[in-house]
Amino acid sequence: MADFSKQWCDANDPDMPYDFDILEVFSKLKHNTYESWVCEGYGFGAIANIEGECMLNMPNGKWVPYDDIVK
C-alpha cells in the first residue's frame, strides 16, 4: 500500500487522507538521526534531522533539504 505525507496531500489532493506528517516526524528526531518513511508522492524513503535541518532521502541515495522538495 502506498503512503503519502500530509504535505503532499495538502499540495496535491487536499481531500485525500494522509499517512504521516513530515514535520511532525522531524520534530521528534534527535540531531543526526533518521527514520524510514516512504512518501510515494514526493518519492523519498527517509526523514532525517541533520544538524537541525529537515532532510529527505531520495531514491538516488542523496539527502535533499525539505524546502527543496516541499514547496
**32-64 pLDDT per residue, tens:** 999 999 999 999 999 999 999 999 999 999 999
Looking at residue 12, what is its pLDDT?
A: 97
Looking at residue 67, what is its pLDDT?
A: 97
User: What is the maximal distance between C-alpha atoms in the chain?
Assistant: 34
**20 near 5, Cβ under 8 Å?**
yes
> 14: which residues sit within 8 A by CB, 6+ positions away?
none
> Is the model's pTM score more than 0.85?
yes
pLDDT at 66 over 80: yes
Confidence of residue 2 (pLDDT cuts 50, 70, 90): confident
Looking at residue 8, what is its pLDDT?
A: 98
